[in-house]
């Protein structure tokens, strides 16, 4: 019996060593961009201002879905993660100008952006409006944003949606939306809480997360606009960087790390089954 148990232990150790080697080999075989190979760093631009995707926690640590996925990507590549904090509207111009290689945010692949950058899709979401609890009753029914003061992040998908919804209000003979542009989500929240805008038009996941963490200071109102895949932006035509990120994200989807990180922030509904590259509008998967 002792010999049998010893054999089992030897077999188990051998199997663990084999599968561990396979896992390590798989990680080693992930493609790397020339920049990561040369520097040993995965350098990304990020706002660090958009919970639950990226933010600074009470201990001063960088956390959130995007940060943790980027950290895991760096680990798989055998690289060090280097995060540069940057306002959202500066990211696409910065990529187009060659100032950096990866803007790890949740970008929608619009036609205008696709003229300047490519994307690696890794999540999906929609846009919602949220308002302070005392104003929620004013946002019921159809066309509930018409005539309202609405805050958006400049250059974000919500910026374009606000224009479209305002045009629809006008076509229906209703008051147009009074749009105000802000650099970051926290600025819109402060404007809403101080009654400088009536509502925040923003990503559904970020808005829902703030409703929970703020204990209802702002609440999501009826209406979901433009459910779409979202992705990381890379320079136009930079196939090596795009493929590196796609392969790393796909590895995380397959090994369960992606789901673990998404579930941590209550975001499993936003998961996609396959990471993919978009360099033209006809490659977007709905």
77-129 tens-digit pLDDT: 999 999 999 999 999 999 999 999 999 999 999 999 999 999 999 999 889 99
Is the distance from CB of 69 to CB of 232 less than 8 angstroms? no
Which pLDDT tens digit goes with each residue over 64-74?
Answer: 999 999 999 99
- 15-29, 86-100, 217-231: which has the minimum mean pLDDT? 15-29
Q: Is 266 domain-assigned?
A: yes
3-state secondary structure of 35: helix
Q: What are the pLDDT digits (tens) for 229-257?
A: 999 999 999 999 999 999 999 999 999 99
What is the pLDDT at residue 28? 52
- Asked if 60 and 151 sit in the same domain, the reply is no
Tell me whether strands 80-85 and 117-132 are parallel, antiparallel or unpaired.
unpaired
Q: Are residues 104 and 175 in the same domain?
A: no
The answer to whether residue 25 scores a pLDDT higher than 80 is no
For residue 200, the enclosing domain spans 126-227
Domain total for the chain? Answer: 2
Q: Is the pLDDT of residue 7 over 60?
A: no
Tokens of 239: 């196939």
Output the pLDDT for position 207.
87
pTM: 0.67
Burial pattern 14-39, b for ≥16 Cβ within 10 A else e, equals: eeeeeeeeeeeeeeeebbbbebbeee
Which CATH number characterizes residue 134's domain? 3.40.190.10
């Amino acid at each position: 019996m002792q010999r049998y148990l010893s054999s089992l232990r030897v077999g188990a150790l051998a199997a663990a060593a084999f599968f561990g080697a396979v896992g390590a080999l798989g990680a080693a075989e992930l493609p790397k961009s020339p920049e990561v190979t040369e520097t040993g760093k995965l350098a990304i631009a990020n706002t660090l201002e958009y919970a639950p995707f990226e933010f600074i926690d009470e201990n001063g640590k960088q956390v959130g879905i995007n940060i943790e996925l980027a950290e895991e990507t760096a680990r798989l590549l055998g690289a060090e993660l280097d995060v540069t904090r940057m306002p959202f509207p500066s990211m696409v111009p910065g990529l187009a100008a060659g100032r950096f290689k990866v803007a790890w945010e949740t970008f929608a692949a619009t036609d205008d952006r696709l003229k300047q950058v490519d994307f690696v899709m890794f999540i999906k979401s929609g846009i919602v409006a949220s308002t302070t609890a005392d104003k929620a009753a004013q946002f019921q029914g159809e066309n509930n944003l018409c005539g309202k003061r609405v805050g958006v992040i400049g250059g974000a998908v919500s910026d374009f949606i606000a224009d479209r919804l305002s045009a629809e209000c006008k076509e229906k003979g209703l008051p147009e939306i009074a749009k105000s542009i802000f650099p970051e989500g926290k600025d819109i929240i402060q404007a809403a809480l101080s009654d400088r805008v009536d509502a925040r038009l923003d990503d559904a996941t970020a808005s829902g997360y703030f409703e929970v963490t703020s204990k209802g200071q702002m609440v999501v109102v009826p209406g979901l606009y433009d459910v779409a895949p979202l992705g990381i932006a890379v320079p136009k035509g930079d196939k090596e960087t795009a493929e590196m990120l796609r392969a790393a994200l796909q590895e995380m989807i397959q090994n369960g790390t992606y789901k673990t990180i998404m579930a941590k922030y209550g975001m499993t509904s936003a998961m996609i089954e396959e990471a993919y590259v978009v360099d033209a509008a006809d490659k977007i998967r709905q």
